[in-house]
Structure 1
Amino acid sequence: MSGSRSAYGAPVSGSGLRERKKQRTREALTDAACTLFARQGVESTTVEQIAAAIDVSPRTFFRYFPSKEDVAVSVLDQQLTEVIRALEARPPGESVLTALRRAVVGTVRAHEDAGSGDGGIRLRSVRALLLSSPTVRAASLHRGALRSGEMARLLAVRMGVDPVRDGRPQLVASIVLCALEAAVAEWQVHRPDAPLSNLLEEAFDLLAGGLDYPSATA
């Protein structure tokens, strides 16, 4: 019996096919969850609803995610991964803030341009992920703190410094992630009709201007 082959004619192993099927199921669960989160909020969405949306059992859901909140955090983590990869790909001659701005804004605009596709669905679901659930928001902040170390290491390379001895890369990474949180909150609460990428551009403009604002009583 002949085995399965890839598009290039090479045999595809059974383990490779299984991994691809598992990845497709994980992606389908994530998309279903994001759609439900955006429509009815995280707290009102059940694991049973997410599983039923792609015609699998709740038991199957729990093979991929410990909880519905973990789906939300995985989406946010994936977006952070995209930003970090984009930062790593920026030209080495760019300054730290320029590289960060282009990585962050470029990643978000790519999702915005995706419209109603996968990227668009996940971007629109950020509102439900971040603000409708205190549990998800706390988990996302914790995840961001963990990923800030990865970002700081890339910034240290760009700056040509040792991140163990020089605290600036970690400080910049932490400040930028907090600025992103603030921009998303502004988008959600006060300016939901504005493109998120525009608010992120504004946040980077403020960072570029410095943080040593004068006292109102001076």
Structure 2
Amino acid sequence: MTATAPEAHPAGPGPHPAGRRERKKQRTREALVDAAFRLFAEKGFDGTTVEEIADAVDVSSRTFFRYFASKEDVALTFQEEQHAAMLSALTDRPADEPVLTAVRRAVVGIAVACERGDLGFDPDRFECMMTLTADSDNLMAGSLEHAQKKQAILTRAIAARMGTDPATDLRPHVVASSVIAAFHAAADALTTDGLGFERLSDAVDAAFELLEAGLNYPSEGARPE
């Protein structure tokens, strides 16, 4: 990648003030997220306040709300990053791959990346987010709401892969809904001892295997061995 020279300001050489402001805003935003997850890990999601997050970065609560609508919004930045990475991974899947297989491999791949710390993901933050979501009804509700809002984006991505129009074809809507349900079922499975899952990636893979096998139970082929 070739670096480009900074845009000159009419008053003289050097970076444009707008560029400096944007970089400062981005640093503040990242600092708030870092501080929030440190506090979440120490005190839990419900035990952490917006004021404590702001104080940790030495800014006011008013400044916090310039960046985030709530502490749920901060926590869900990780889910936002997961969603963006999954869409990118889905786009990169071979065009001739069946749609559910392509989504399965994209979703499982991102789950593995989160667990291993690949693709820029922080595995400690991932583990913290999983614990927070399981322990906090408020954050779980926020997570479900976030997934619901992203469903339309996922539906369009799936429709594009299928070469169809979601305005006239129900199938991409059904696939997108099934994908979101499978992911949440997998997350729930981690807290169910009898199911025996220790990693999200394994639970997600098993959930997609059930979808691919079919849900019209009873059926000999509808349950993974």
In the alignment, which residue of structure 2 is the partner of 1:206?
210
Q: Give 1:52 shift.
A: 2.8
In the alignment, which residue of structure 1 is the partner of 2:58?
55
Matched ranges for 1:100-179 at <5 A: 100-114=103-117, 119-179=122-182
The answer to whether the Cα contact below 8 Å between 2:78 and 2:126 also exists between their aligned partners in 1 is no
| Greater CA drift, 43-52 or 121-130 | 121-130
Which segments of 5 or more consecutive residues in structure 1 lack a partner in the other structure? Answer: 1-5
Q: Give 1:192 shift.
A: 9.1
Specify the SS of the correspondent of 1:92: coil
Q: Give 1:8 shift.
A: 4.2
Amino acid at match of 2:204: L
- Once the two structures are superposed, residues 151-186 of structure 1 have per-residue CA deviations (whole angstroms, 9 ceiling, x without a partner) of 111111111222111101011111110110111121
Specify the SS of the correspondent of 1:125: helix
The answer to whether the Cα contact below 8 Å between 1:83 and 1:103 also exists between their aligned partners in 2 is yes
Q: Give 1:103 shift.
A: 1.1
Which segments of 5 or more consecutive residues in structure 2 lack a partner in the other structure? Answer: 8-14, 220-225
- Once the two structures are superposed, residues 75-112 of structure 1 have per-residue CA deviations (whole angstroms, 9 ceiling, x without a partner) of 32222222122212222121111211121111121121
> What's the Cα RMSD here?
2.4
Q: Give 1:211 shift.
A: 0.6
In the alignment, which residue of structure 1 is the partner of 2:6?
10
TM-score by length of structure 1 reads 0.85
The answer to whether the Cα contact below 8 Å between 1:38 and 1:124 also exists between their aligned partners in 2 is no
RCO higher in 1 or 2 (8 Å CA, sep ≥ 6)?
1
Amino acid at match of 1:195: R
How many residue pairs were aligned? 209
